[in-house]
Structure 1
Amino acid sequence: LDSANLGQAAIVPASNPSNNSFGTCQILVDVRVQNTCPIGNLGDPTNPLALSNTISRTLDFTNDQNRVPPNDATNNFSVIAGLTVTKTYSPNLIAPGNTTRVTVNIKNDSGAPVTGVNFTDNLPTSTPGGFQLQVENP
Structure 2
Amino acid sequence: MNWTVYLSGEIHTDWREQIMQGAKQHNLPITFTSAVTDHEASDAAGDVLGDNDNPFWRDHQSAKVNAIRTKTLIQKCDIAIIRFGDKYKQWNAAFDAGYCAALGKPYITLHDHDIIHPLKEVDAAAMAWAQTPEQVIEVLKYTTSDC
Give the number of the structure whose residues are more often helix, by fraction.
2
Interval of TM-score (by shorter of Structure 1 and Structure 2): under 0.3
Larger Rg: 1
TM-score, normalising length: structure 2: 0.21
Higher relative contact order (CA 8 A, sep 6+): 2
